[in-house]
Amino acid sequence: GQNIDQPTEMTATEGAIVQINCTYQTSGFNGLFWYQQHAGEAPTFLSYNVLDGLEEKGRFSSFLSRSKGYSYLLLKELQMKDSASYLCAVLDSNYQLIWGAGTKLIIKP
Amino acid sequence: GAVVSQHPSRVICKSGTSVKIECRSLDFQATTMFWYRQFPKQSLMLMATSNEGSKATYEQGVEKDKFLINHASLTLSTLTVTSAHPEDSSFYICSASAGQGYNEQFFGPGTRLTVL
């Protein structure tokens, strides 16, 4: 079956750096997405990786290793507004998005 | 950027009634629209995928006679929850993409349904 694993919850301190990991086992691979979702709101797009390596976008970076079925989202200079759930999703061979359960990130002052 | 709207944002209804939720892509033509359901503290669960002008493809376990999906135009899809029951109370989110292959899904703001 298809499976995406990410930690349920993480806690970090304002101003620090946090890395949220995601491992996947899917039928085919056409890219991996990270979305941010604040409580009670719909997800918003953060990043898309289809090739191995690191994609940097401001305070957020996303890394992919296809051979390891592994990705991480790196958040730098954490701000209180970064408190949210972070969803990892993989586009499989049928171009269907397979969603992880999300990682709830709690930022403490 | 691409904008997707949903209406209503919040609805409370009595058990046994039907509720219609609209999803519109405002500044692009959405070849494909997706309907998700999300229960508290859980991830998104895809309910169905709809392509303009054709029948929706429902995920396993989703009753197509209960959750009616219509994608009549490239900018509008509707989800009707028929004979709603309290267990249907959830956060319903639509998303839209402009085509197949890698196309970012743009999410609507969601509809909070509460069935009394």
Given this model, what pLDDT does residue B102 score? 58
| Nearest residue in chain A measured CA to CA from B57 | A96
Closest-CA distance, A25 to chain B, in angstroms, reads: 17
Given this model, what pLDDT does residue B99 score? 67
Contact B43 A30 (CB under 8 A): no
Asked if residue B105 has pLDDT above 70, the reply is: yes
B 31-90 → A contacts, CB under 8 A: 34, 42-46, 49
pLDDT, average across residues B72-85 = 93
Helices and strands in chain A: count of H runs, count of E runs: 0, 11
CA quadruple A83, B44, A61, A1: dihedral positive or negative?
A: positive
Look up residue B23 and give its two tokens. 């999803």
- Report d(CA A101, CA A4) in Å as an integer: 8
pLDDT, average across residues B94-101 = 78
Residue-wise pLDDT for B8-35, tens only, equals 999 999 999 999 999 999 988 888 899 9
Residues of chain A positioned with their CB less than 8 A from the CB of B110 = 40-42
Residues of chain B positioned with their CB less than 8 A from the CB of A48 = 102, 104
Given this model, what pLDDT does residue A49 score? 93
Residue-wise pLDDT for A3-25, tens only, equals 999 999 999 999 999 999 999 99
* B101 near A CB under 8 A: yes
Given this model, what pLDDT does residue B53 score? 78
Q: What is the mean pLDDT of chain B?
A: 90
Asked if residue A27 has pLDDT above 80, the reply is: yes
Asked if residue B36 has pLDDT above 90, the reply is: yes
- Report d(CA A69, CA A87) in Å as an integer: 16
Are B77 and B23 within 8 A, CB to CB? Answer: yes
Given this model, what pLDDT does residue A93 score? 86
| Nearest residue in chain A measured CA to CA from B42 | A101
Residue-wise pLDDT for A31-79, tens only, equals 999 999 998 888 988 999 999 999 998 999 999 999 999 999 999 999 9
- Report d(CA B20, CA B45) in Å as an integer: 19
Closest-CA distance, A48 to chain B, in angstroms, reads: 9
Q: What is the DSSP string of A15-60?
A: TS-EEEEEEEE-SS-S-EEEEEE-TTS--EEEEEE-SSEEEEETTE
CB pairs A-B closer than 8 Å: 44
Given this model, what pLDDT does residue B66 score? 96
Given this model, what pLDDT does residue B103 score? 66
Are A79 and B84 within 8 A, CB to CB? Answer: no
